[in-house]
Structure 1
């Protein structure tokens, strides 16, 4: 375990060494940001709308009492979406989509000896292959989480519009009631941490792949599983520290 941790830390140090040619690295960062952000926007949007709608319906069902104001459904749905659903579920989805892609891409380059060729040419392979992916993830995951929060609340409004449990006016009143900016900060910190976890763990699994196509698939699977576990652990730690 400690040996693997040492290799992980060493790989991160090598990844963020001074680049040989900044323009090449910058182009790679831009390409990874487009692949991570734009490529994941569709699945994140669909999931966020449906989760927001389902959360609002369930909260309204559980609080169906004449003693409880209907606007409380919007407030609970808002805080749940910002603090937990949007950051964590989005990160778990991205671990499956982006993380597996990172691990399989780097793992394939390892088993086909492309990484060895880069190192022979004097290129810092971890810096060229891993650093742009980490930068892209820690930049784009918070942006995707912000979009997810907005769409989640929109999904709750749509559920109120077509359902009879809570009126849209009461839902919007609940969204505005007692809003704390701290919740947004917590969500963004979680998104930043989750993005780093996804990119670094999956890149590590791919970089140290050995064997053939079967081992590449196993590395991708391990990267996704370990990322999901660490995302849930980091979610607990960040929540405990900031709240």
Structure 2
């Protein structure tokens, strides 16, 4: 079997054996097991705790843990059934993240933009949604298949002695980034917004505050951001429109929620 046929066969087998569906019904490919992702998440989180400054402020930690705990209670057991580890990192960046294996990290800079528990819940819900939808698995799987496909293309070009191979491969790489990987990431962000909106609402946080959060985010960026075409994240205006589109269902879940948290900074 030629290298080309071998690569095509491997790609087909991988795609057929790893096809699955995201929580919103989108077709996805995931090549890695949940346990593999959980181990990676735990290792990455432990490394971050050793390399970055962790907040020692009791009030900050209790506030973030209060919100994160209510959000985590909405996570299905098949995603993670244990106790989530929540860490506040003492850094100015406006960011948060969640990792497979039940890990949540929040940077203190975010607390200056998320003005209340509902807005912080919108961010944490969004990050936890990435874990629920296994976006990390999907990105890694996509990268594996893309690398395999590009290696096959490179081998074909070289075997046929096609001139300017490096230039062609560079162009293909750019095409993959703009045409596949970046829109793919924007899809993940939008999907996490939808799932996160539902999470925060069921946890008893006001989903309407997610709109206020992104208005604050837009102000914090000072208008300095890449064009949406070349960004892994949708523009704040796009996110707000999408959130508003899904607000009716979220508000119904919020009204039905018996638990209304009172987390205070």
Q: Normalized against structure 2, the TM-score is what? A: 0.34
Higher relative contact order (CA 8 A, sep 6+): 1
Instruction: Identify, as 1 or 2, the structure richer in helix.
Output: 1
